[in-house]
Amino acid sequence: IDLGRMKKLGEKGLDILLSDSTNSLASGWTGSETKVRANLVEQFTKIKGRILTCLFSSNTYRLQSLIECARLTGRKVALTGRSTKSYARIAMELGKLNTKDVELYDVEDMNKFEDSEVLVIVTGSQAEPRSVLSRMARDMFGPFKIKNTDTLLMSSKMIPGNEGRVL
């Protein structure tokens, strides 16, 4: 959190700020998105097969990081899940998501490419039963089938209470 920026907003007369954060009661600091992105780029470079990654669909910073990783490693991107597509569309309309030099596809089209060129961003980081990731895991998502050579990157933290479903 940018405490300096918060202080300036308070000095300008901001009366109340409401926010929500997973693990907000946990002590310590969270690493920056820049560090997360650097780690993701390192992983993307090592992985030769298809990459599937899930995230909180409202986390447009993480979505931008994943898109940047795809750009840097030459992967084509498919967004799946209604919420992920919706947040991405709104972020693009607002100029908050840069997809320059990255090709976005429907998930059905990903089978046309070499495995090393594929990144599929899916919903379901909390093992929600109707999410795309959950349906893929149960082989109930017709447009895309998981292969043994695919790598799943969990790009989110577990929400406390969901440990049993996620693990």
**Tens digit of each residue's pLDDT (9 = 90 or more) over 82-121:** 888 999 999 999 999 999 999 899 999 999 999 999 999 9
Give the helix/strand (H/E) hosting 53: strand 51-54
Q: Are 147 and 49 in contact (CB under 8 A)?
A: yes
pLDDT digits (tens, 9 = 90+) for 113-132: 999 999 999 887 655 667 78
Tokens for 102, please give them: 């990255």
Q: What percent of the chain has pLDDT over 90?
A: 49
pLDDT of residue 166: 47
Mean per-residue pLDDT of the chain: 85
Q: Which residues contact 23 (CB under 8 A, 6 or more apart)?
A: 157, 160
pLDDT digits (tens, 9 = 90+) for 20-60: 666 677 788 777 888 989 999 999 999 999 999 988 888 89
Closest by CA position to 123, among listed 73, 165, 74, 85? 85
